Amino acid sequence: MSEPTIVALASPVGTGGVAVVRVSGCRALEVSRRVFQGPGFSKAQAKPESHRAVYGILHSPPGLISNENKEVTTIDQVLALPMLAPHSYTGEDTVEFFCHGGTVVAREVVEACIEAGAAPAGAGEFTRRAFLNGKLSLDQAEAVADLIHAESRLSARAAVRQVLGGLKNQLVEIERPLLDLLSRIEGSLEFADDDEIAIPETEILKSLRAADRKISSLLQIGSAGRLLRDGIHIVLAGAPNVGKSSLLNALADEDRAIVDKQPGTTRDVVSVRLHHEENVFVFHDTAGLRQEAGPVERKGIARTQKMLLEADLILHLEEAKSLSKRQEQPLPISLAASVENGSGEFTTIVIRVGTKSDLVATPDLDESVVLTSSLSGQGISDLWRAIDEAVAGFQLKEAAAQGVVLNQRHLHKLGLCSNELTQLSAEIQKTSPGPEVIGTLLSSITAHLGEVSGRVFSEQLLEAVFSRFCVGK
């Protein structure tokens, strides 16, 4: 039984000079012949040479027998790269068309292939096939998902490490002592009449806590992985008209690397994604913070406050001229409220930025304040330096080097295990459940750990894995 031949855009939507359209399946060559004219693709030839790109014309497919007179229209001049089974990503016959970038052309190429008999690919379908045909292991499949999402070099490096087993090594370190403890508990239950080998509660607690600590530190490093993958979120906060938008534009101009600029999901927040050095940053321009605000604006401010709580880094903007008065500046109210609400948990780094420095002659102020002028561009590189310094504390390089980038599933499972271990420790202290209870629960907890390391399978895991792949990979 063979699966339908599928087609999809394999490169990111809408950007880049070249778009890649991939056709895969046992009829990939047949479909390609109907839409592509070039060396190796005429009907007379059995098969084009594998892994050799050829130049040619991509056109709409000729009509079927009932409609043979249908006009054939040229869509684009393209490179076609045939990769014959099993030497392709999916393990099936595959043809990739490199056409001119832009949404319209690529969409027409895909449509032509569909007209020629290919089916549009479902999310993650190429990878699913690669996986089914033995081209990828599950670990690798997940790492590929991260590679696809990896925008920065550090992140890509970590994803590559992951394939090499960084996470697995760390998990083994956690699993081994737990399994050791478990086997001792079980032994004490199963050979009751041999030697009395009960394990003291204090020793059990010690092992559980040690494992919990290791998982927590893994989670900590692993969440640095989130920053690698999703980008570092920086929120610009400050009073209205303090110059947030201008600063954002200046930062973007400095680096000239805007990936996209789109209105935020809320009407008050504008988000901009920037590459700088080895990292990806997402800047959020928030609604201004004011004490006296109407109901609509208060809503916006509430959102700003939420963003501040979730930020990885905060740029606190104040006008340089007000700073130069050598007064101790209070934090914006919402920010102050966040600090209080967070009951001391709010440890996000705040960089103080003085704006509109061109309006002040020689400001005399605290060294921790970065002075900038969005107008002249002065101080923008200082600000980038300050940001990079702050980011250095996030241990991103360490996370990348150890290959510990945790995806949502990993985070969820490890969080669950850590949580369960904490609860089990508390339970042991509180009610001293018998070793049979401890052993039973511990064996389930280790089974969950195994789902991260790959020792135990859960079907949902697979659903989760494949739902993460975007169309085309």
Partner 1 sequence: MKTSFFDIIVVGGGHAGIEAALACARMGARCALVTHDDREIGRMPCNPAIGGLGKGQLVREIDVLGGEMGRTIDGTGIQFRVLNSTKGPAVQSPRAQADKFEYQARMVDVTHGQEQLEIIQGDTAELLVEGKETGRPRISGVMLDSGTTVSGARVILCTGTFLKGLMHVGENRTIGGREGADSSETLSGSLAGLGFTLKRLKTGTPPRLLRSSIDFSRLKSQPGDDPPRPFSFRTREFSPDQVECHLAYTNTTTHQIISKDLSRSPLFGGTIDGKGPRYCPSIEDKVVRFADKDQHLLFLEPEGRDSEEIYVNGLSTSLPADMQKKIVQSVEGLEQARILRFGYAIEYDSVPSSEIFDSLESKPVSGLYLAGQILGTSGYEEAAALGLIAGVNAVRSLDGKPALRIRRDEAYLGVLVDDLATKEISEPYRMFTSRAEHRLHLRCDNTENRLLDLALELDILPGVDQKILIARRHLVESITGLLDRVRVEVPEKLERSERSGRVSGVEFLRFPGSSIYSVLNSPGGGEALKKISFECNSFSTKAGGARLLDEALVQIENDIKYRGYIAKQNRLLHNRAHLDNLEIPTDIDYFEIKALSFESREKLSTVRPQTLGQAGRIDGVRAGDLAVLSVYLKKLGGGG
Q: Which residues bind partner 1 (CB under 8 A)?
A: 1, 3, 91, 122, 128, 131-135, 137-139, 186, 189-190, 192-195, 420, 431-437, 439-441, 443-445, 447-448, 450-451, 454-462, 465
**Shortest reach from residue 436's CB to partner 1, in Å:** 4
194 vs 367, which CB is nearer to partner 1?
Answer: 194
245 vs 444, which CB is nearer to partner 1?
Answer: 444
**Shortest reach from residue 210's CB to partner 1, in Å:** 21
The owner of tokens 């002659």 is 361
- CB contact at 8 A, 449 and 211: no
**Shortest reach from residue 171's CB to partner 1, in Å:** 13
**Shortest reach from residue 187's CB to partner 1, in Å:** 9
188 vs 207, which CB is nearer to partner 1?
Answer: 188
388 vs 436, which CB is nearer to partner 1?
Answer: 436
**Shortest reach from residue 300's CB to partner 1, in Å:** 40
116 vs 438, which CB is nearer to partner 1?
Answer: 438
**Shortest reach from residue 453's CB to partner 1, in Å:** 9
**Shortest reach from residue 185's CB to partner 1, in Å:** 9
**Shortest reach from residue 111's CB to partner 1, in Å:** 21
Distance separating alpha carbons of residues 450 and 172, to the nearest angstrom:
9
Angstrom CA distances, 222 to 154, 192, 284, 427, stand at 14, 42, 24, 28
Residue 109, Cβ neighbours under 10 Å: how many?
27
359 vs 447, which CB is nearer to partner 1?
Answer: 447
Tell how strand 279-285 and strand 270-276 pair up.
Answer: antiparallel
Residue 294, Cβ neighbours under 10 Å: how many?
9
Long-range contacts of 425-428 (CB under 8 A, 24+ apart): 425/205, 425/208, 425/209, 425/212, 428/201, 428/204, 428/205, 428/208
**Shortest reach from residue 448's CB to partner 1, in Å:** 7
138 vs 257, which CB is nearer to partner 1?
Answer: 138
154 vs 417, which CB is nearer to partner 1?
Answer: 417
159 vs 442, which CB is nearer to partner 1?
Answer: 442
